Structure 1
Amino acid sequence: MIRHTLLFLGYEMKKAFSNPIWPLFGILQPVLYLVMFAPLLRPFEAGGTMVEALRTFTPAAMMMIAVFGSLFSGFSMLAELRNGSLERYAVSPAWRPAIVLGRVAKDMVVLVVQAILVLVVAMLMGLTIGALELVLLLLLMAATGLFASSLSQAMALTIRDENGMSQTLQLFMLPIMLLAGMFIPINEHAPGWMQALAPINPLFHAVEAGRAMFAGELGDSAIPISFALFAALAVLTLTWSMRSLRKIAG
């Protein structure tokens, strides 16, 4: 089980870094968001300082990495569906769930690299965070990324069409980002109807939990709520993706 998962992880990592320009772009994008967007939040903060702006935007940027960096990973599976290689993997002696778990594990590795880079840049800009808060934030990122990656694999195996999958993701991406308060905190600056809708969005709770961690408020209710939500969602989407893979194998 573990051996097969590690084999698929190594295969996916080799594919991901066979052309290093794309992983590099994926890592640099959140850094550019941090450097170019965080300063725009200073007028919205009570003290108007860069550190306060970083405390607001850095956890949101990390959750953006966790979700939207993993949501598109299923497109590579569509290419393997088309050329028939995925069916060969599915009927091979390999442990079938390892096909999905290896891909998800690859996304987790990329997330860790991106998260460390974003945190280093944020700290160079003046942000500080405690060790416990940092560990909790990385764990929440992992749970969020696990959900997004397994959801992407499940969608690819169910929809089996790039255009359909792309249109579905694009339809929901903008409202999810805005209702999560990624760019501007919902509870402080959004109209009442958006504040009422925001708690329906699981990502809202993850962003609020990240901001509470950066502020050192470990007793904030958003933290256990977000962990529980994304743990449950990750289990559901992983189950969905594995069942979809079984159907392909017949």
Structure 2
Amino acid sequence: MFRHTMLFLGHELGNLRRNPAWPILGIMQPVLYLLLFAPLLTSITPNGTLEEALVVFTPAALMMIALFGSMFAGFGMINETRNGVLERLAVSQAWRPAIILGRVAKDMIMLVLQSLVILGVAALMGLRIGLPAMGLMLLLMAVTGLFAANLSYGLALAVRDENGMSQIVQFFLLPLMLLSGLMLPMSVAPDWMQTAARFNPLYYAVEAGRAMFAGDYSDSTIPTAFGLFLVLGVLTLTWSVRSLRKLAG
């Protein structure tokens, strides 16, 4: 099982090395938001400093990678389904969950590497956080990627059409983004939006990141975020593997 997963992971990483343009382009949007939007938040921080604004916005920029990166990971799988590649893999002697797990592991690795770039840019801009906060944030990015990538692959196997999947993803991305406090903390939102945000898992991930960056490790959103995304990751992994088994007949 482990060997099969590592084989598929190596194959996916090899494809990534041959075409590194998409990960580079995917990280440009969060970097631009960090450079151009974070300074605007100084007006809502207590002391009006850029460092405070970075504590607020850097976790949001990291979650943007999980949203706009991992949620589109399944589009390549649709093409493989259409070409018959995925069906041949699904009926082979390979352990079927490894076909999904290898891809998800690649996506999680890419999320962590992209997160390090974002943290490096934020550090150059003046962000100062401890190693525990950085380690926990990278771990949170990994479990967030576990959920988002599995959801994307599950959708790809269920829809099997780029246009249909694109419409579904775009339909859900906007409310998820606005009700998570990515752009502005939900504390400045109306009461009804704050209530609606409580039903958005991404809200807890963003708030947990901000709490960790502020050094508040006792904040309840931290265990809530890890617990939610671990459970959602397992559920979406189960769904995507079952969809792959249906594809194999």
TM above 0.5: yes
User: How far off its partner does 1:11 sit?
Assistant: 1.2
- Cα contact 1:17–1:23 (8 A) shared by 2: no
User: How far off its partner does 1:162 sit?
Assistant: 1.0
Q: What is the aligned partner in structure 2 of residue 247 from structure 1?
A: 246
User: How far off its partner does 1:16 sit?
Assistant: 2.1
- Dislocated runs of 4+, deviation >6 Å: none
Q: What is the aligned partner in structure 1 of residue 57 from structure 2?
A: 57
Deviates more, 1:89-98 or 1:8-17: 8-17
Deviations for 1:185-242, whole angstroms, at most 9, x for unmatched residues? Answer: 012x111110110100000000000000000000000001111110110010000000
2: CA distance between counterparts of 1:239 and 1:111? 21
User: How far off its partner does 1:48 sit?
Assistant: 0.9
1:171-186 equivalent positions in 2, closer than 5 A? 171-186=171-186
Q: What is the aligned partner in structure 2 of residue 97 from structure 1?
A: 97
Tell me the TM-score normalised to structure 1 length: 0.97
**Structure 2 portions without partners, runs of 5+:** none
Tell me the TM-score normalised to structure 2 length: 0.97
2: CA distance between counterparts of 1:3 and 1:23? 26
User: How far off its partner does 1:32 sit?
Assistant: 1.6
Sequence identity (%): 63
Residue-pair matches, total: 249
Instruction: Work out whether 1:203 is the aligned partner of 2:202.
Output: yes
User: How far off its partner does 1:67 sit?
Assistant: 2.8
2: CA distance between counterparts of 1:197 and 1:21? 37
- Cα contact 1:68–1:148 (8 A) shared by 2: no
Instruction: Work out whether 1:80 is the aligned partner of 2:80.
Output: yes
1: CA distance between counterparts of 2:64 and 2:3? 31
Aligned to 2:70, what secondary structure does the other structure show? coil
Deviates more, 1:153-162 or 1:10-19: 10-19
Instruction: Work out whether 1:231 is the aligned partner of 2:233.
Output: no
Aligned to 1:151, what secondary structure does the other structure show? helix
2: CA distance between counterparts of 1:70 and 1:27? 12
Deviates more, 1:75-84 or 1:2-11: 2-11
Instruction: Work out whether 1:146 is the aligned partner of 2:151.
Output: no
Q: What is the aligned partner in structure 1 of residue 212 from structure 2?
A: 213
User: How far off its partner does 1:17 sit?
Assistant: 2.7
Aligned to 1:92, what secondary structure does the other structure show? coil
Q: What is the aligned partner in structure 2 of residue 40 from structure 1?
A: 40
1: CA distance between counterparts of 2:20 and 2:169? 25
C-alpha RMSD of matched pairs (Å): 1.0
Aligned to 1:4, what secondary structure does the other structure show? helix
Deviations for 1:95-122, whole angstroms, at most 9, x for unmatched residues? Answer: 1111000110110111111000001111
User: How far off its partner does 1:20 sit?
Assistant: 2.4
User: How far off its partner does 1:184 sit?
Assistant: 0.3
Aligned to 1:157, what secondary structure does the other structure show? helix
2: CA distance between counterparts of 1:172 and 1:24? 24
2: CA distance between counterparts of 1:145 and 1:89? 24
Aligned to 2:198, what secondary structure does the other structure show? helix
Q: What is the aligned partner in structure 2 of residue 17 from structure 1?
A: 17
- Cα contact 2:67–2:173 (8 A) shared by 1: no
Aligned to 2:71, what secondary structure does the other structure show? coil
Q: What is the aligned partner in structure 2 of residue 129 from structure 1?
A: 129
**Structure 1 portions without partners, runs of 5+:** none
